[in-house]
Amino acid sequence: MAQEARQARNASRQVAKLSAIQKNRLLKDIAELLKQNTAQILVANSQDLDAAQGNGLSEAMIDRLKLTPQRINAIAEAVLAIAGQPDPVGSIQNIERMPSGIQVGKMRIPLGVIAMIYESRPNVTIDAAALCLKAGNAVILRGGKEALHSNLALARCISAALEKQGIDAAAVTVVPNPDRKIMQELMTLNQDIDLIIPRGGEGLIRYVSDNSRIPVIQHYKGVCHLYVDKDADIEKAIKLLENGKTQRTGVCNSLETLLIDQAIADVYLPKVVELFKAHNVKVHACEKSMSQFEQGGIDVSAATEDDWHAEYLAMEIAVKLVDDYDQAIAHIETYSSGHTEVIATENYSRAQDFIRTINSAVVMANASSRFSDGGELGLGAEIGISTSKLHAYGPMGAESLTTEKFIVLGDGEVRS
């Protein structure tokens, strides 16, 4: 991979110099070619699907792998949406004159070369390539083995678009032999790769974080909390719980723990029981709330320490009655995964304090945790979610794939 990474580095210099118009023309060509080549992409995808079925991959895995004309169209539309976004590079933050006479500003620039390490979804190939190009970067895409034919077919559309615009094809490199060794080698190439973004299970992300010499964006898990304060609006708090837990369970921004102020439990808890009954939600309850769930006929067990750390990704939730607001804060600070936390309250001071105190990537008052997503938060497309505070924190759009350099405009000034 060393040679490919060096070529990507060289190509990144060309991509960095493209104007917004040139980059958007390239993205439009990619979208166009995806639509034109739908038939060929589906043929490649069916090869992957056949192999997946032969290898006994799970229904869920196969669904993630599967492309359809509608899905390919949606992928192309996402590329067009990225083309429509403002250009993240080139802007200069307020140039100020220093006492020495020099003028100093900061200019937003691409990171350089980004490596994506991901699993089965072929749409990541296009999403990541489009976002990286939009931000002026070259990208090395190391997808899952099970999606290789699909990824290569998608890569051909990208190469053709690059070629049409006269851009070095090494600007987007799809690794043609995505084995573990390649991944290990990638992680050592810190001369030519500036950032690694792993997307997939916790094991993959931890492995990359622990072994990479290149900075890594970490996204472990989402143990999102909803705290229902004693001054919550009951109807809103039920809607937030229903949406956060039941709308889509397999995603990192769904709720995993519900904290209820004891003072409101009498009125709130019966409605929770009703809701969980309707959606067949399994509960891991604290001692104090246990009996209410039992009496309501809910599938309930006693919450253990593990439950407060758990990301169920299923119709399953941990529930705890807390003595007061401070205990809720302490619980969240102990068990938070740094992803998203929500307070339901009509109390101004506690809403303010929660927003200030909780330092997860996304902190909400009276809104569903399901909004914790690049699209919903206004970033356009999303390349990942960072739960570590360095460089980027929370959903990452194109701007997170850039950095800022200092620029100095002088007239021969020297330091005395």
Q: Which is nearer to its own copies, 115 or 363 (CB)?
A: 363
Shortest separation between residue 249's beta carbon and its own copies, angstroms: 13
Q: Which is nearer to its own copies, 66 or 219 (CB)?
A: 219
Q: Which is nearer to its own copies, 1 or 363 (CB)?
A: 363
Q: Which is nearer to its own copies, 30 or 111 (CB)?
A: 111
**Per-residue CA distances from 66 to 59, 78, 95, 120, 155 (Å):** 10, 17, 50, 9, 17
Shortest separation between residue 36's beta carbon and its own copies, angstroms: 31
Q: Which is nearer to its own copies, 143 or 338 (CB)?
A: 338
SS (H, E, C) 231-253: CCCHHHHHHHHHHHHHCCCCCCC
Q: Which is nearer to its own copies, 114 or 155 (CB)?
A: 114
Q: Which is nearer to its own copies, 110 or 222 (CB)?
A: 110
The one-letter amino acid code at 104 reads V
Question: Cα–Cα distance between 73 and 52 in angstroms, integer?
Answer: 23
Question: Cα–Cα distance between 111 and 139 in angstroms, integer?
Answer: 10
Shortest separation between residue 148's beta carbon and its own copies, angstroms: 30
Shortest separation between residue 42's beta carbon and its own copies, angstroms: 30
Shortest separation between residue 65's beta carbon and its own copies, angstroms: 26
Shortest separation between residue 285's beta carbon and its own copies, angstroms: 24
Contacts by residues 6-9 (CB-CB < 8 Å, ≥ 24 positions apart) = 6/192, 7/168, 7/170, 7/173, 8/113, 8/138, 8/139, 8/140, 8/170, 8/171, 8/173, 8/192, 8/193, 9/112, 9/113, 9/138, 9/191, 9/192
Shortest separation between residue 303's beta carbon and its own copies, angstroms: 22
Question: Cα–Cα distance between 169 and 156 in angstroms, integer?
Answer: 10
Residues lying near its own copies in the complex (CB under 8 A): 13, 16-17, 90, 96, 98, 100, 102, 104, 107, 109-112, 194-195, 209-210, 213, 215, 233, 235-236, 239-240, 242-244, 247, 333, 355-357, 359-368, 370-372, 376-378, 388-391, 393-395, 403-415
